[in-house]
Amino acid sequence: MRFALMIEPQQGLSYLEQLEIARLAERLGFEALFRSDHYRSFPGRADEPTTDAWTVLAGIARETERIRLGTLVSPVTFRHPGSFAKVVTTVDEMSGGRIDVGVGAGWNDPEHSQLGLAFPDIAERADLLEDELAILHGLWEEPDGWSFEGKQVSVLDAGFHPKPVQQPHPPIIVGGEGRPRSLRLAARYADEYNMSVSDPDQCSAKFALLDAECRKIGRDPATMHKSVMVGFLVGADEAEFERRVHDLLAMVGEAGTDAAAWLDEHRPRWIVGMPDQARAMAARFAATGAERIMLQDMLPRDHAMIELIARELIGRI
């Protein structure tokens, strides 16, 4: 099992804080650092500072050496597909070919309206995502003169230089909860499918459906990489764990919530508890067919917890 660290910088993390975490993750042996792509602060306080995901990744790319970098996921509603292809290609070059690009349809209405960004209904957003996936492949892989007539976006007589450092293109990740259209789009366009907000049994079932979608279009399911994004909250002992539970509830604006009830709700799909419990849950996710776990960190300023999870999981599952 491979492990990536995934952070939610819309919780108020500055660029320098994100860089510090990236360097820590690189030192600890994480394969990759992923970050969310949001413009509005949540959960918890809505007035925390936020940063642009791809601008931050460009900076981190120049100040790290080995760790892969990417988004989980970039909403298609934030950037025009053609411009997005240029942004990703530029950061891929700046990183020396260490970029993974996660894409999705977007979901958070307020962060769109607050910036004057359009937020159409899900059917239109899914159409736009399908266009974006086709355009990324076309601009990155097709020769000059490529044209495309999509559902919402058209490309005429393309000229795209330079091509990405990674050939034929940076790995494309489609993320979601296994809804039918996202599985179909992944089978056609993605290198990896990332399941989120799901327990191991749900992941196994959705991965089986993904394999079936691949077979329907003549794609070998073995060519589709599978991963899961899993929240984690661990402690070296009970006292440390209980302190982190209360820290997390305060961070997400749920101070005063019944901690036991919160844990009961999250245990089925999170890695929580002592090191042996963390390893057991990670092993359950490994048994679903996932090749890597993106460990979603909701307490990113607690570097000791990052060090603990790295020590207990990397190379041991």
Question: What's the pLDDT tens digit per position in 243-299?
Answer: 999 999 999 888 888 999 999 999 999 999 999 999 999 999 999 999 999 999 999
So where are the chain's domains?
Answer: 2-313
Phi-psi region of 183 (alpha: psi -120 to 50; beta: other; left: phi over 0): alpha
Q: In this structure, which amino acid lies at residue 199?
A: D
Give the span between the Cα atoms of 273 and 265, in whole angstroms: 14
The DSSP output letter for 10 is G
123-to-106, 130, 187, 241 alpha-carbon distances in Å:
12, 11, 19, 42
Q: Which residues contact 155 (CB under 8 A, 6 or more apart)?
A: 82, 135, 138, 139, 146, 147, 148
pLDDT(180) > 90: yes
**Residue partners of 239: CB distance under 8 A and separation at least 6:** none
Asked if the bond preceding 200 is cis, omega within 30° of 0, the reply is: no
- Compute CA distances 33 → 153, 200, 265, whole Å: 31, 22, 27
Q: What is the mean pLDDT of residues 17-45?
A: 96
Give pLDDT, residue 254. Answer: 86
CATH of 2-313, one of 3.20.20.30, 3.40.720.10, 3.40.30.10, 3.40.50.2300: 3.20.20.30
Name 130's Cβ contacts closer than 8 Å, sequence gap at least 6: 150, 151, 185
Helix, strand, coil: what percent of the chain each, to 5? 45, 20, 35
Read off the pLDDT of residues 101-123 as tens digits, 9 standing for 90 and up. Answer: 999 999 999 999 999 999 999 99
Among candidate residues 3, 38, 34, the one with its CA nearest the CA of residue 21: 34
Spell out the residues 6+ positions from residue 86 whose beta carbon is closer than 8 angstroms to its own. none
Residue whose pair of structure tokens reads 């709700």 in the numeric block: 265
What would the mean pLDDT of 156-164 be, rounded to a whole number?
98
Q: What is the pLDDT of residue 317?
A: 86
What residues contact residue 71 under an 8 Å CB cut-off, 6+ apart? Answer: 34, 35, 36, 37, 53, 54, 57, 101, 102
CB distance 288 to 202 below 8 Å: no
